[in-house]
Amino acid sequence: MHLLSVNVGLPQDVEWRGQTVRTSIFKRPAAGPVAVLAEHLAGDGQADLRVHGGPDKAVYAYPHEHYAYWQQHLPAELLVPGAFGENLTTSGLLESDVPVGALYRVGTAVLMAVQPRRPCAKLGIRLNDPGMVRRFEEARRSGVYFRIIQEGIIQAGDALMRLEPGVPEEITIQDMVDSNALPDKDFTKIEAMLQLPDLSPSWRARLEQMLAASGR
C-alpha cells in the first residue's frame, strides 16, 4: 500500500449552473513533502465547515483502483489524481480491507480510519455531472476518511503501513458503506458497529436512526 499522490486545495469560487459556489474540492497534486497538521494537510482547506473537515474528516483517501470503474462513466480528462476531492490517491488501500479504527503510518504521520465518505453536491461540480452524488453512492466506492493521530510529513511514494494486527469479526469501512447503501440491512452488523469505540458521532446517529426505524 502506498501513496500515488498527495492532493491539496484551498477554497475558491466557481460558477455552477448559474450560481457562484465556494468549494475546496478542486485538489491538485503537491510537488513535494506536505505537512500533516492536527486536523488537515498544509495547504488544504474546507469551504463549508458545517459538513466538511473536523477531526473525523481530516484527511480523505480514495483508491486509484476505483478510477478504472469510473472510466465507464466519466471523461478520461477528468480522471486525474484528486478527481474525487481526495487528499490521498492510494494504491492497495481498499475499503473492504480497512477496519474502522485501524491505525496506519504514512511518512512520519499516523492516521486512523474512521468512516466512509457520503458525497455532497460539490462532487458533481468537480466532475461536471449533477447526477454524480447519486451515482457515487450507488457505486459503493466511498474512499476513507482518516483522523490524524500523529502529525508528520508525507509525500507521493510513501508506504501506507497498518500498525495494528487484525482481529476476528472486524468491521470495515465497506461494511459501513453497505449499511447505508444496500436495501437489505444487516442489523446484527449495524448493532456491532454501534459498539465501535472510534465510531464518529455523525455515523452513530445515522446507525441509531436505522435501528429505530427497523423497530429493533
Rounded CA-CA distance 175/113 in Å is 13
Which of these, 117, 148, 145, 155, lies nearest to 39 by C-alpha position?
148
All cell numbers assigned to 7: 492532493
Vertex 161 angle, CA 203 and 140, to 5°: 40
3-state secondary structure of 114: strand
pTM above 0.75, yes or no: yes
The domain spans of the chain are 2-166
Taking only the tens of pLDDT, the chain with its 216 residues reads 999 999 999 998 988 888 898 999 999 999 999 999 999 999 998 766 666 678 899 999 999 999 999 999 999 999 999 999 999 999 999 999 999 999 999 999 999 999 999 888 889 999 988 899 999 999 999 999 999 999 999 999 999 999 976 555 689 999 999 998 888 888 888 999 998 988 899 999 999 988 888 777
- The CATH architecture of the domain made up of 2-166 is Beta Barrel (2.40)
